[in-house]
Amino acid sequence: MASQLPLLAKDVPRVGVAAIIRDAEGKMLVGVRKGSHGAGTLQFPGGHLEFGEDPFQCAVRETEEETGLKVVAEKDVSFTNDVFEAENKHYITLFVSCKRLDEQQKPEIMEPLKCESWTWMSEADLRVYMATEDGKKRLFSTTGSGSLVV
């Protein structure tokens, strides 16, 4: 029988949205995380889905807030289900493929307390990165019920 105690906000999984943005060469935009779970690891632009917000809207909003880039969301790619036990956090992350409206526009560090830098990485380089340190530094997890193929 399930507990009758009320759920606390920390007990509920959060929904995040990550924007996968490719340049003309097919490289993907990634940043180095700061000040949150996964600090020092790579991330796609993204953030929390707001109440009533569509995941595509979230991907567009978060990309502009974090990088200054104007994008259009094109399609759902995949999702992950990650539990960060040490931080007592549980995230469902939705991955959305996005396209820059201006291919010449460069990403900027709009949130310096959350991101050290932005760079474009090839799929091959990302796969090498994900395989380092016994999987400790992963861009995303595939341990949950979702799997992400880039």
Has residue 91 got a pLDDT over 70? yes
* pLDDT surpassing 90 at residue 142: no
Domain ranges within the chain, ordered by starting residue: 10-103+115-135
Q: Is 17 exposed, middle or buried (0-12, 13-18, 19+ CB in 10 A)?
A: buried
Q: Is the pTM of this model over 0.85?
A: no
Q: What is the mean pLDDT of the chain?
A: 85
pLDDT of residue 104: 96
Chain center to CA of 20: 8
Residue 147 pLDDT level (bands cut at 50, 70, 90): very low
pLDDT tens track for 6-47: 556 567 899 999 999 999 999 999 999 887 667 788 899 999
Reply yes or no on whether the pLDDT at 146 is more than 90: no
Q: Could you tell me which residues are beta bridge partners of residue 76?
A: 96
Name the burial class of residue 111, with classes exposed (0-12), middle (13-18) and buried (19+) by CB atoms within 10 angstroms of its CB.
middle
Name the fold adopted by 10-103+115-135.
Nucleoside Triphosphate Pyrophosphohydrolase (3.90.79)
Query: In this model, does residue 53 exceed pLDDT 80?
Result: yes
pLDDT at residue number 85: 86
Specify the pLDDT at position 6: 58
Strand 14-21 to strand 89-100: parallel, antiparallel, or no bridges (unpaired)? Answer: parallel
Beta strands in 22-146 (DSSP E): 28-33, 42-43, 46-48, 71-84, 89-100, 115-121
